[in-house]
Chains A and B, each alone.
Chain A
Amino acid sequence: MPAKKLNLRKRYGLLTRGMGWETTHQKMDDVFPYDSFEGIKITDWDKWEDPFRLTMDAYWKFQAEKEKKLYAVIDSFAQNNGQTNLADASYLSAIKLFITGVTPIEYAAHRGFAHLGRHFRGDGARIACQMQAIDELRHQQTQVHTISHYNKHFNGLHDPFHQFDRVWYLSVPKSFSEDALSSGPFEFITSISFAFEYVLTNLLFVPFMSGAAYNGDMATVTFGFSAQSDESRHMTLGLEIIKFMLEQHEDNLPIVQRWMDKHFWRAYRLLALVAAMQDYMLTNSPMSWKEAWDVYFVENGGALFEDLSRYGLKMPKYHELATAEADHISHQIWSVFCSLGNATGFHTFLPTEEKMAWLSEKYPDTFDQYYRPRFEYWHQQQKDGTFEFQKGLPQLCQVCQIPMVFTEVQTDPMQISYRVTEHGGDKYHFCSDGCKDIFEHEPEKYVQAWLPVHQIYQGNCGGPTLPEVLEWYKFTPEDIGNYIGSQDHARWQEWTGEDKEVKQA
């Protein structure tokens, strides 16, 4: 007698539910000790709807196919010296920032989702988190493999994981990801899956991956395409967890709203590095930061929050400020990097005439007025041989750990935005009301911050002088400073026989 057919949904249910059980020899609260202290109330885990339905056999099969294709491209890229097809070697500053700043947070996400994959009480939620945990491991590993060939031919890519734990600007992504990891499981997933992956991921992914496509970087763009179907699974998990928390109990709303406000601002501040990358590091920019912000946050994000308003969830606090800042932050951050280019693990370079014309066009309200004069002044200094990198170290925001360079864009764009608060007799400084609010809600957490500049002054970073600190970072003299005149630039000229300058369109 032939077996009766199971429909896919039923079959999937049988393969993913009912294998766990209510423990009797140990209390369930001891087996799952972490899913209640945050105050999120879950009345029925069975109401969890799996955001995607994959059994392991299907997962192995799909992912193996993707890996075979990806590694075929990586191999052929290396064999054919694909690095010579880049638009310009200066573009690699973006990849240097990527492998030192983004790849390590993929690994952090792997560990964080494993924590949830073990500790959520609901079977379905655990499995969804486990699949993301292994996907994130994939991203970390494939990124290291993709960029491996560049490391053989260019500087600044050789020690990403050592640097992630130490370098001054990499404490921005490190503190972001460790903030989420050190939180409870519901806050972690709100931060990473929703605020970061659902609301803001396109602002990270599109600039890097389209940027790669626009600049002849076949290796990275192939990785990007390959990761896309993983990312879309991760986004659906982000939406599902928010809806699940909000549907489970009305008391969850204020907690989720506060996390949303906090992690939106945290993730948005992190993306300021991406904004600078997008507008300045890319030889050919597919779209400006402001354009990306308008499409991916103002339009798409606006529609999303409209959809979520039926649960009572509001747009994240300070989103209007973020939109107003879209005209400014890329210029402000790139200025910091250019002025401290002797302490960055990627090469800095001033925007070319063509690039500045593009920036004027993309930022008609701000670039010519506030930022062009600064870059033209530095250009003149470089021409005269009087340009010098900054000697002192910048003050950092206690929360986002970005140097205090953001300004009062809504009132006076030339005025630095400073906020200060007192805790336990000490003063703490912030770049914005968003970061100050985050601190004031959990001061015990943020007083612990490992602020690189403080640490340097306290003598914990290799020694008191810049060369000692750079050595401690494992930045070699070839890694840092201006692109023009660097070893990377010299090799590029050797291969292409031209390009005395940065090439930017």
Chain B
Amino acid sequence: MSIEISAKSIQPVRLTYGNLEERFGGKKPSSRYQEAVYDVQPTANFQYRPLWDKDHELYDVSRTAIVMEDWYSFTDPRQFYYGTYNIARSKQQDVAEHNFAFVDKRDLLEVMPEAVKQAAREILVPLRHVEWAANMNNCQITDECYGANFSALAMFNAMDRLGMAQYVTRLGLLLDGNETTSLDAGKKAWMEAPHWQPLRHAIEDMFVLDDWFELMVAQNFVLDGLVFPLLYDRFEKKLTSEGGATIAMLTEFMDDWYKETVRWTNALAKVTAKESKDNQDRLSSWVTQWGDRLSSAIEPIATKAFGENGVNELAEVKQALLARLAKQGLAV
């Protein structure tokens, strides 16, 4: 049964903020995403040049070679503002918490073959450093980007990466009954083992990139586009087939996260490439350059993870990534 509740009806004088009226016509109320991000960042009449970067204004379109007529052309397909972002992640962390508790309670790691555990220690645990670096890089993008749509997106991504570095750390602790043995071994491998060094080198070079959009491409398009499908998906499937399904339970967050991330990286690649031939060329060359550099940096890890199939697995992942980006209009 539905009943009519009578409420006082008051006609509004306008339906949305002025900037959104100009953008979308003002015939209907704006979404919360639109209200939260559009035109929020200052664009004019800056008071002082930064002491730490006298060549630029505080917010400056020339911090990247990418040129956009309107930096708000890009819309996050997830429509994430702070509230929806946290609510989404809170649900995911509930699941993760449940999974960790379940594995712990049932001693599921106890019954896992030692070889699988060892593989997880060697391949997955050092990824906490990769996530940590991704946190720094996305924080760098938040700092230097142009537009509140970008700063919000990169900020959420930065915090996600910290969260995932922490989940990997918890996996490492759980593998060793809360001893730090594999965390310590993972750090040592990250710093010294030959198969991790090309990747660490590439990541350190990314730390000093000048162009935030190039960093966006290197980190969020390319590196993530290789690491997540290769290690959190294919490698874990391999572990599952060897009796390590429990590991996949503990990294479900990463799996879901990557599927979601692909949506906005696609949208961003598309809108940026579509803007101009120059942008398309620039993006394509960054993807090619970082695609080559990072795939060869990951190759020794792929070999370590998959044995002789490693090179093949990596090539397939890279091929899929390039095909996906080509579909968004990049010449790769």
What residues of chain A have their CB less than 8 Å away from a CB belonging to chain B? Answer: 1-6, 14-16, 18-21, 23-26, 30-31, 33-34, 37, 55-57, 59-61, 63-65, 67-68, 70-71, 79-81, 84, 104, 107-108, 110-111, 114-115, 117-119, 126-127, 130-131, 133-134, 137-138, 140-142, 144-145, 148, 151-155, 157-162, 164-166, 171, 174-175, 178-179, 181-185, 445-446, 448-450, 455, 474, 487, 491, 495
Distance in Å: Cβ of B107 to nearest Cβ of chain A = 8
Residue with the greatest number of chain A CB neighbours at <10 A, chosen from B131, B148, B180: B148
Q: In whole angstroms, what is the CA distance A171 to B48 when docked?
A: 12
Chain A positions within 8 Å of B179 at CB level? 4
Among A117, A153, A182, which residue has its beta carbon within 8 angstroms of that of B49?
A: A182
Distance in Å: Cβ of A109 to nearest Cβ of chain B = 12
Among A79, A130, A157, A455, which residue has its beta carbon within 8 angstroms of that of B159?
A: A130
Mark the stretch among B86-94, B280-288, B321-329 that contacts chain A.
Answer: B86-94
B18 at the interface (CB under 8 A from A): yes
Chain A positions within 8 Å of B169 at CB level? 14-15, 19
Chain B positions within 8 Å of A108 at CB level? 42
Q: In whole angstroms, what is the CA distance A24 to B160 when docked?
A: 26
Q: In whole angstroms, what is the CA distance A59 to B85 when docked?
A: 12
Distance in Å: Cβ of A360 to nearest Cβ of chain B = 37
Q: A57–B201 contact, CB under 8 A?
A: no
Q: In whole angstroms, what is the CA distance A114 to B200 when docked?
A: 23
Chain A positions within 8 Å of B12 at CB level? 152-153
Q: B205–A26 contact, CB under 8 A?
A: yes
Q: A6–B178 contact, CB under 8 A?
A: yes
Chain A positions within 8 Å of B177 at CB level? 1-4
What residues of chain B have their CB less than 8 Å away from a CB belonging to chain A? Answer: 7-8, 10, 12-19, 21, 29, 32, 35-37, 39-52, 58-59, 81-83, 86-87, 89-94, 96-97, 104, 107, 110, 128-129, 131-132, 135-136, 139-140, 142-143, 148, 151-152, 155-156, 158-160, 162-163, 165-167, 169-170, 173-174, 177-180, 183, 187, 190-191, 200-201, 204-205, 207-208
Q: In whole angstroms, what is the CA distance A33 to B92 when docked?
A: 36
Q: B166–A134 contact, CB under 8 A?
A: no
Q: In whole angstroms, what is the CA distance A126 to B158 when docked?
A: 12
Q: A448–B48 contact, CB under 8 A?
A: yes
Q: A118–B139 contact, CB under 8 A?
A: yes
Q: B14–A133 contact, CB under 8 A?
A: no
Distance in Å: Cβ of B162 to nearest Cβ of chain A = 5
Minimal Cβ-Cβ distance residue in A for B161:
A56
Chain A positions within 8 Å of B178 at CB level? 3-6
Q: In whole angstroms, what is the CA distance A59 to B156 when docked?
A: 12
Decide if the interface of chain B is mainly helix, strand, loop or mixed: helix
Given A152-B12, A162-B18, A118-B140 contact (CB < 8 Å): yes
Q: A137–B58 contact, CB under 8 A?
A: no
Q: A26–B174 contact, CB under 8 A?
A: no
Q: In whole angstroms, what is the CA distance A139 to B15 when docked?
A: 22
Q: B45–A30 contact, CB under 8 A?
A: no
Among A107, A166, A183, which residue has its beta carbon within 8 angstroms of that of B51?
A: A183
Sample (14) of A-B pairs whose CB atoms are under 8 Å apart: A3-B104, A3-B174, A4-B178, A19-B129, A61-B93, A70-B83, A111-B41, A111-B142, A158-B18, A158-B21, A165-B44, A182-B49, A449-B47, A474-B18
Given A15-B169, A166-B44, A137-B155 contact (CB < 8 Å): yes
Q: B7–A179 contact, CB under 8 A?
A: no
Distance in Å: Cβ of B297 to nearest Cβ of chain A = 12
Chain B positions within 8 Å of A65 at CB level? 90
Minimal Cβ-Cβ distance residue in A for B165:
A19
Given contacts A84-B10, A152-B14, A152-B29, 9 further A-B contacts (CB under 8 A): A1-B177, A3-B174, A3-B177, A25-B200, A84-B8, A115-B143, A126-B136, A130-B139, A184-B51
Distance in Å: Cβ of B102 to nearest Cβ of chain A = 14
Among B10, B32, B132, which residue has its beta carbon within 8 angstroms of that of A495?
A: B10
Chain B positions within 8 Å of A154 at CB level? 13
Distance in Å: Cβ of A35 to nearest Cβ of chain B = 10
Q: In whole angstroms, what is the CA distance A115 to B145 when docked?
A: 11
Q: B47–A182 contact, CB under 8 A?
A: yes
Q: A64–B173 contact, CB under 8 A?
A: no
Minimal Cβ-Cβ distance residue in A for B169:
A15
Chain B positions within 8 Å of A181 at CB level? 50, 58
Chain B positions within 8 Å of A18 at CB level? 183, 187
Q: B152–A67 contact, CB under 8 A?
A: no
Distance in Å: Cβ of A225 to nearest Cβ of chain B = 16
Q: B82–A178 contact, CB under 8 A?
A: no
Chain A positions within 8 Å of B162 at CB level? 56, 127, 130
Q: A178–B48 contact, CB under 8 A?
A: yes
Given A107-B40, A114-B143, A67-B83 contact (CB < 8 Å): yes
Q: In whole angstroms, what is the CA distance A107 to B14 when docked?
A: 25
Q: In whole angstroms, what is the CA distance A24 to B205 when docked?
A: 10
Chain B positions within 8 Å of A131 at CB level? 159
Q: In whole angstroms, what is the CA distance A448 to B49 when docked?
A: 8
Q: B86–A60 contact, CB under 8 A?
A: yes
Given A174-B42, A449-B47, A67-B97 contact (CB < 8 Å): no
Q: In whole angstroms, what is the CA distance A144 to B148 when docked?
A: 13
Chain B positions within 8 Å of A25 at CB level? 200-201, 204-205
Chain A positions within 8 Å of B170 at CB level? 15
Distance in Å: Cβ of B166 to nearest Cβ of chain A = 5
Chain A positions within 8 Å of B151 at CB level? 110-111, 114, 137
Distance in Å: Cβ of A478 to nearest Cβ of chain B = 9
Distance in Å: Cβ of B7 to nearest Cβ of chain A = 7
Q: Which 10 A-B pairs have the closest CB atoms?
A: A56-B163, A64-B90, A152-B12, A19-B132, A114-B142, A118-B139, A67-B83, A159-B18, A141-B36, A158-B18
Given A6-B178, A19-B132, A455-B10 contact (CB < 8 Å): no
Minimal Cβ-Cβ distance residue in B for A56:
B163
Chain A positions within 8 Å of B142 at CB level? 111, 114, 117-118, 133
Given A84-B8, A152-B14, A68-B93 contact (CB < 8 Å): no
Chain B positions within 8 Å of A142 at CB level? 82-83
Chain A positions within 8 Å of B208 at CB level? 26, 30-31
Chain A positions within 8 Å of B140 at CB level? 118
Chain B positions within 8 Å of A57 at CB level? 93, 96-97, 163, 166-167
